[in-house]
Amino acid sequence: MTAAARVLVWTVAVAVLGVLVALAVPVASGTYLVAQVVSFRAVLGLGSAVLAVALLAVPATRRRLLPLAVALIVGAAAQGAVLAARSTPQHADAAGSGDQVVVLSFNTLSTVDPAVLADLALEHHADVVVLPETSGYTARMTAKRMAAAGQPMQRLTAAGHSSFVAGTALLVSERVGTYPASVSLPTRLGSLRADPGDPAGSPVIVAAHPIAPISRGAMPTWRTETALVADLCGSTPGVIVAGDLNSTLDHPGLQDLGPCIDAARASGAAALGTWPASAPRFLAAPIDHVLVDGRAWRVVGFQVLERTGGSDHRPILATLERR
């Protein structure tokens, strides 16, 4: 290998290492392309490791490309370290009051039958059901089926401002409280805030669906809407926030939640993804969340459930306990 070739290999290796390590602590995660790549941290780490092994497996290139292979291995380890940290439970507090609330959130993509939704909610004894991209009709029929099974649910909805995406529905058990009305939040895909009739005994519930960072032009709206949801969580005592937030814990809106905690992170399940549902959980992007005021709630458990119906998201389930 010539001196110029060695310089080129080392330059590429340093650049690759810098990018992969930088993505492990993403300071630019609110920018286009970085936001999309960092959503799939497991894919990034696994892909880097596989490429490194491929480089080392070929005798003819092993010595020449050793610096690049090492850079890929170190970068993959950096991604793995973040995923390992997010698989470690946090907030392991002493047992609380025993008064539990089960929250189910599921972006149905308007493809899941009400009977399937009702059965899912009933099977997991859900007290709060948040349904982004779900029509008012589907929400109404789901609530009707749950009531027929002995679990009446109040139903609140928020219409989106897109002709291609259904709004967001919220079903709440009477056991949690009475919610006479809701206020729509300014997100294009439909979000709502439900305030209880008795603020002293019941939580504010936010059913959220910010826009996704699907293009360069959508980035400012995505950042604004995600920050709106995160700010609501941080500024509302006792709140429960759930939905398809179209962000991971690496993105700007969810990096600093103040007094709020992410239920998956608290349970050590934040490395498991929810989208796309066709991918294994350990490779998917964790963009569906339950956020709670950590001063009012402790997280007892969190699950990413099996793929359900034709949705491209997996449902998530959080079990909360009042302090």
Question: In terms of DSSP bridges, do strands 240-244 and 205-208 run parallel, antiparallel, or are they unpaired?
Answer: parallel
- Residues with Cβ within 8 Å of 259's Cβ and at least 6 positions away in sequence, in order, are 234, 293, 294, 295
What is the reported pTM? 0.93
Q: What confidence tier does 17 reach under pLDDT thresholds 50, 70, 90?
A: low
What per-residue confidence (pLDDT) applies to 20? 75
Tokens of 35: 């936001």
Mean pLDDT, all residues of the chain: 91
What per-residue confidence (pLDDT) applies to 239? 98
Using DSSP, state whether 158 is helix, strand or coil: strand
Least confident of 69-78, 180-189, 196-205, 314-323: 69-78
Measured between alpha carbons, how far is 322 from 101 in angstroms, rounded to an integer?
Answer: 8
Q: Which amino acid is at 284?
A: A
Q: 16: exposed, middle or buried (C-beta count within 10 Å: 0-12, 13-18, 19+)?
A: buried
On whether the CB atoms of residues 71 and 16 are closer than 8 A, the answer is yes
Per residue in 110-137, pLDDT (tens digit) is 999 999 999 999 999 999 999 999 999 9
DSSP summary character for residue 286: -
Residues 151-170, mean pLDDT to the nearest whole number: 92
What stretch of H or E contains 262? strand 260-262
